Amino acid sequence: MSGAADVTKADGLPAEIRKLTEDARMTVRRAGVPPADGKCVVYWMQRAQRALDNPALDTAIKIGNTLGLPVVAFFSAISNFPHANLRHYVFLNQGLADIEADMAERNVTFLVRRAPNHSLERFLDEVQAAMVIGDENPCREPERWRRVLAQRLKLPFWTVDADVVVPSKLFAKHQYMVHILRKRMEPLLPQYLAAQPIVMAQKSWPRPKGFEALNVTEDITKGWRDFDRSVKPVDSFHGGTRAAQKLLKEFVTTKLANYATMRNHPEVDGTSRLSPYLHFGHISPLTIALAVEDACKKGLATQQAKEGYLNELIQWRELAVNFVKYVPQYDSIESAPEWAQKTLREHAGDRRNPVYTLEQLEHAETHDELWNAAQRQMLHAGWMHNYLRMYWAKKILEWTPSPAKAWEFAVILNDKYFLDGRDPNGYAGVAWAIGGVHDRPWFEREIFGTIRYMSGNSTGKKFDSKRYIRQMEELAGA
Ligand SMILES: Cc1cc2nc3c(=O)[nH]c(=O)nc-3n(C[C@H](O)[C@H](O)[C@H](O)COP(=O)(O)OP(=O)(O)OC[C@H]3O[C@@H](n4cnc5c(N)ncnc54)[C@H](O)[C@@H]3O)c2cc1C
């Protein structure tokens, strides 16, 4: 470690590095001073799979530059990531080449290893790491891994809340409604909705000859026996930062202006379709938000269109992060507010007719053409339009023996087939539709009680549902 850094306080950390801990994005998981013989700073990349607008990578680079050390970004691919299957991994794999190229632009070496040779601790020993910077993921298992790692590591280990515009820590508890979060977020947005400087790593990492790492274009799942290959990849989305940037450009130039009306038309491609890229961290919500602001400044869209889109991207999306962060039972009926649990209990005995099994739902075998079409979009595109996601989940409540079962089925299908599944947005979406989370009581009716209802008739009349059904039949046929 270079002796150049200015160590001024009793904790032994250089002042520039200590100052970074004042940032609300930062969580010091394991405090301490980087060892003097450390040879690099490691960014352990998990959720924020990108090199652009990535505050976790920026932090690693700033620390590396202060310590006079190079930065190595490490991605460890495991075969048993909860509920992940071939569809998800192909998309992830497609993104690795862009990460490597963009990291190189910042003078950072990107290294990928895969199970069974994927141990982070072994990697840290091999590269003689001085410090580890990770990103954040509020979901149960990834958060548990970070806690376990903090106990096992001997090095300083910090994580950075890289995939939200406003650091999630700034809201100390669950925010029950989007308007409450919006009000609390408003004064913070000018600070966080701002372009970040691109910091270059000053030192390069001298890669030892024969250092083990995967070629990023190789199949990372090759040879995995315990891996779920039952869900096939889709042609509808190609993973990676470049593909995300292309979609973003297309969206701000041709779709943003009409977002308010076209976002409720599943038969028209009127939304950004960026959710899979946000889920894998191939693009940052900040990059998207700034592009939308810029488009508005250039007159490509009105202030109203911009606000409508940012309301989904920032307020609704970060409400979902807040929900998963603070409500431990986020993927089950226990997360529903008291009024919703009570009304669902009161209607638990209502007759359900028809009742479908998980398999019937999964294979789009219901009597409802529109619902089956939505399910086909899930199966064959790995994505579904928001308007139909609401309808889809509410019908599962109507057609299953109990709300708890409905919740369970919706989460299973959501996580299995959506490229953007296994995400706070999915858990919050199901909780909203089935459990009234972030919603209010509506009119009392059978099965639903006062949970908001959506009827097939009125939903199908709000857009050209016949066209949508035809499109999904074609998709399934193809
Ligand atoms: C039952 C149900 C399940 C859902 N499952 C998921 C899921 O697994 N993964 C997922 O990312 N989203 C999920 N959503 C939220 C939403 O439907 C999708 O984010 C959206 O349809 C993605 O399409 P888009 O990127 O074109 O969105 P756009 O309309 O272009 O919006 C831009 C971004 O804003 C965010 N956003 C939009 N709508 C919402 C919303 N209602 N809640 C939270 N964030 C939102 C997303 O990140 C989205 O990519 C679910 C919603 C419901 C009701």
Cα of 255 from ligand 1 centre, angstroms: 17
Question: What is the average per-residue pLDDT within 329-344?
Answer: 98
Q: Give the percent of the chain with pLDDT over 70.
A: 98
Q: Give the separation between CA 393 and CA 378, rounded to whole angstroms.
A: 12
Q: What is the pLDDT of residue 78?
A: 94
Question: What is the average per-residue pLDDT within 196-223?
Answer: 96
Q: What is the pLDDT of residue 422?
A: 98
pLDDT higher at 361 or 3:
361
236 lines ligand 1 (CB under 6 A): no
CATH class, 241-326 region: mainly alpha
Residues 333-477, CATH architecture = Orthogonal Bundle (1.10)
Q: What is the largest CA-CA distance in the chain?
A: 74
377 lines ligand 1 (CB under 6 A): no
Cα of 94 from ligand 1 centre, angstroms: 22
Q: What is the pLDDT of residue 460?
A: 86
Is the pLDDT score of 1 beyond 60? no
Q: What is the pLDDT of residue 9?
A: 58
Q: Give the separation between CA 289 and CA 292, rounded to whole angstroms.
A: 5
Contact 242, 105 (CB under 8 A): no
DSSP-based three-state secondary structure for 62: helix
Half-sphere exposure of 236 (CA within 13 A, CB side): 26
The pLDDT confidence band at residue 200, using thresholds 50, 70 and 90, is very high
User: Any idea which fold 15-163 has?
Assistant: Rossmann fold (3.40.50)
* Cα angle: 343, vertex 347, 353; to 5 degrees: 140
What angle do the packed helices 424-435 and 386-399 form, to 10 degrees?
50
Q: Looking at the DSSP assignment, which residues form a beta bridge with residue 7? A: 14
Q: What is the pLDDT of residue 2?
A: 42
Helix/strand/coil percentages in the chain, nearest 5: 50, 10, 45
Cα of 159 from ligand 1 centre, angstroms: 25
Q: Give the separation between CA 477 and CA 57, rounded to whole angstroms.
A: 43
284 lines ligand 1 (CB under 6 A): no
pLDDT in tens, 295-314: 999 999 999 999 999 999 99
Q: What is the pLDDT of residue 14?
A: 92
Question: What is the average per-residue pLDDT within 310-334?
Answer: 98
Residue the block writes with tokens 């990492």:
205
Which backbone phi and psi does 48 adopt, to 5 degrees?
A: -85, 80
- The residue type of 6 is D
Q: What is the mean pLDDT of the chain?
A: 96
Nearest to 156 by CA among 32, 27, 13: 32
The pLDDT confidence band at residue 4, using thresholds 50, 70 and 90, is very low
Instruction: State both tokens at 35.
Output: 């060892």
Is the pLDDT score of 198 beyond 50? yes
Q: Give the separation between CA 381 and CA 397, rounded to whole angstroms.
A: 23
The pLDDT confidence band at residue 10, using thresholds 50, 70 and 90, is low
Is the pLDDT score of 22 beyond 50? yes
Cα of 275 from ligand 1 centre, angstroms: 6
Residue of 425, 453, 459 to test ligand 1 pocket, by largest number of atoms within 8 Å of CB: 425
> For the chain, what are the domain ranges?
15-163, 241-326, 333-477
Is the pLDDT score of 3 beyond 50? no
pLDDT in tens, 118-134: 999 999 999 999 999 99
Is the pLDDT score of 57 beyond 70? yes
- DSSP label at 421? -
Contact 406, 355 (CB under 8 A): no
pLDDT in tens, 69-119: 999 999 999 999 999 999 999 999 999 999 999 999 999 999 999 999 999
Distance in Å from the first CA to the final CA of the chain: 57
390 lines ligand 1 (CB under 6 A): yes
Question: What is the average per-residue pLDDT within 350-361?
Answer: 98
Q: What is the pLDDT of residue 11?
A: 75
Is the pLDDT score of 35 beyond 70? yes
pTM over 0.95: yes
Is the pLDDT score of 5 beyond 60? no
248 lines ligand 1 (CB under 6 A): no
Q: Give the separation between CA 260 and CA 309, rounded to whole angstroms.
A: 8
